[in-house]
Amino acid sequence: MKTIGYAAHSADATLVPYHFERRELRPNDVAIDIQYCGVCHSDLHTVNGDWGPQPYPVVPGHEIVGVVSAVGPEVKNYREGDRVAVGCMVDSCQDCDQCHNHEEQYCRNGMTPTYGAPDRISGETTQGGYSKHIVVREEFVLRIPDSLDLSRSAPILCAGITTFSPLRTWNVGEGTRVGVIGLGGLGHMAVKLATAMGAEVTVISRSTKKEAEAKASGARGILASTDQQAMQAAANAFDLIIDTVPVKHDLNLYTPLLDVDGSLVIVGQIGPMEEPMTMPLVFGRRRVAGSLIGGIAETQEVLDFCAEHQIYPECQMIKMDEINDAFAHLAKGDFAHRIVIDMASLNLD
């Protein structure tokens, strides 16, 4: 299948139109006409080579929503015209204990990311959703509930599941005291999801300038990490803290905020952190953990949960040819929430 996308051809290069071929349908494949694709900070990290060498050219994008255009003969659950989605992975071994546990993101043999990775069968590089079409095996296609607005659903496939999974894993419910560090693309979704679960949510930020925005998302308010007196008064105040900060930072500011047996879960930064102080951990039986997206079943769960509670990311819509400007703003932290590309703006010419 001939298609077009926007690709990076080297580290730090601008994205440019790129004509390429999607594979012909295998028996269990679903072909999708992409209507919208979210822009994730990890797209920027990947194309810049921040996480290691990449198999350029790379078409980013792993927050994909669209409509089924064709299915292979063995596909059972989808048909032409269905509203569907594809998230951060497109394959896994399907045989290991983690895959059988519906946690394909932790596949013992390595899950296959939506872009920049070798296909498990052909070896060709997977290419993502900054394109007009995609072909994905049925087991990694998700259904978009009818009540969800397709144009605002894409970031749920990454920002949504990345924050939903630790909330579920740590059993957040009525009365759970949740702190969310940062009110960006991940953070505002964490606030909305935790609030809908019945938690008492507080945003932890360097200042209180986004307090109205935090409250509008469902938080009780903001705890300013630069206010030493307020931070001391908040000692032991949280059962769970979701840390969405995407760059190296000092966890020692936040671990004393956890109550006994509390956990701070990192979902933002991938890489080095400041050296941790162990005293708050040892003396409070506190934990620092990490969490990576969620499995396919859990990703479907968050889509259904967002449909039930009408939870949407705050989105800014752009055209495909505006992606380099969007990346520049993203690198500066100018965007508070999520960016979504309207793929109708990308022509096959």
Residues 6+ apart with CB under 8 A from 307: 145, 147, 148
The pLDDT score that the predictor gives to residue 222 is: 97
The pLDDT score that the predictor gives to residue 331 is: 82
The pLDDT score that the predictor gives to residue 334 is: 54
The pLDDT score that the predictor gives to residue 336 is: 60
Q: Which domains does the chain have, with CATH numbers?
A: 2-157+314-345 (3.90.180.10), 160-290 (3.40.50.720)
The pLDDT score that the predictor gives to residue 49 is: 87
Parts of the chain with a pLDDT under 50: none
The pLDDT score that the predictor gives to residue 246 is: 87
